[in-house]
Amino acid sequence: MSVVQRLILVILALLVPGASLRATVIKVGSIVPVRSPWDNALNEIAAEWFKISNGTVVLKVYPGGVAGSEHDMLRKMRLGMLDGAVVTNMGMTQLNPNLYVLNIPFLLNSREEFEYLLAKMEPAFMKPIEEKGLKVMLRVLAGWLYFFAKEKFIYPEDFRVFRISLAGDEPRLEEAFKAMGYRVIPIDIKDTMMALQSGMVSAIYFPPLIAASAQFFALVPHMLNLRASLMVGWFLLNESTWERVPESYREPMEKAVLKATEGLLRKTDELEVEVFKVMKENGLIIHEAPGDAWDKWRALSMKAIDKMVGGAYPKEIFDQALVLLEEFRKTHGR
């Protein structure tokens, strides 16, 4: 939240008699960068919640990972140090391993496939989270991840010469990449630039917005224009925190969340187009994938993932996802 927005909330609090004395402060950690579309949406939600509750509900957001990694934030929620968190699907797998199927590289190929899978597998995805006393305020497709590298690559075998940076707290993804035959080095995002500069790693697996905002692309200027996997954004609150909010405010507050995030994906897409333009102007080389590339990358990924089924996540979940995707592609095409 910007200084101006905080000042506005303080002024509003002063205008509402006694509001600051009885306010419910909801502390939420967020991994999204400051001033990103997601961060702007959270600030809008904070302002709307304050307005709806007459200043008695204050959403305090700690953006840009200042509250720690996704693993750290979820742990702090369990300990009561945070009331909520905005995380990606990577972090959500710690709460429900079934969700790992959404992280599998080259499993999904479109937004429509994601929406179909999410709708059909709703109980398997949501029930375990709710049973942990968590309320999902929002979930939305937040973009796609791509591979960036120091030199040109097109096919899976080309990528084996690189040392790949992956998030330090994602052991299942690390296992998957190693099973694909790649050299993986777990590194926290805050240490990625140093690792690239030192030559410790020579490739990354990130959304374009992060590759651009963190300036990673300058050191790994080759990108394959092939969407590897999707990124899902989740806004979670502890159910006990939500129950502290007066019931009369809850429905309008939930509507405010939906309103603030309407068009979020569109805004993300528009910003992604802009950052691609900026990165290309500053040295990024985007390599178009030949027609057979996606099938080759997917075949390697499926072979590696097959070894993990039953360990990283239940076999029946993986099998169900494959059946549903095959069903969707037969009627809609890939």
Radius of gyration in angstroms for the set of CA atoms belonging to the chain, rounded to a whole number: 21
- At 184 the pLDDT is 93
- At 169 the pLDDT is 67
Antiparallel, parallel or unpaired: β 222-225 and 285-288: parallel
Angle between helices 171-179 and 293-306 (to 10 degrees): 110
- At 217 the pLDDT is 96
DSSP state of 171: H
How confident is the model over 142-157, as pLDDT tens digits?
Answer: 889 999 999 999 999 9
Per-residue exposure over 19-29, b if at least 16 CB sit within 10 Å of its own CB, e if not: beeebbebbbb
Q: Which residue has the tokens 């075998």?
A: 157
**Alpha-carbon span 239 to 254, nearest angstrom:** 14
- At 303 the pLDDT is 85
| Alpha helices by DSSP H, the chain | 3-15, 19-22, 37-52, 70-79, 89-92, 111-120, 122-130, 171-179, 192-198, 208-213, 239-244, 247-261, 264-281, 293-306, 315-332
Antiparallel, parallel or unpaired: β 229-238 and 134-149: antiparallel
Side chain identity, residue 171: P
Per-residue pLDDT 10s for the chain (334 aa) are: 554 555 455 444 444 444 444 789 999 999 888 888 888 999 999 999 999 999 999 999 999 889 998 999 999 999 999 999 999 988 898 899 899 888 888 999 888 999 999 999 999 999 999 999 999 999 888 889 999 999 999 999 999 999 999 876 677 788 888 888 999 998 887 789 999 999 999 999 998 988 998 899 999 999 999 999 988 999 999 999 999 999 999 999 999 999 998 878 788 888 889 999 999 999 999 999 999 999 999 999 988 887 777 666 688 998 999 999 999 999 887 6
- At 334 the pLDDT is 64
Burial of 101 (0-12, 13-18, 19+ CB in 10 A): buried
- At 189 the pLDDT is 79
* 205 to 148, 150, 155, 211, 244: CA distances (angstroms): 6, 12, 15, 9, 39
Mind listing the domains of the chain with CATH numbers?
Answer: 3-332 (3.40.190.170)
- Give this prediction's pTM: 0.83
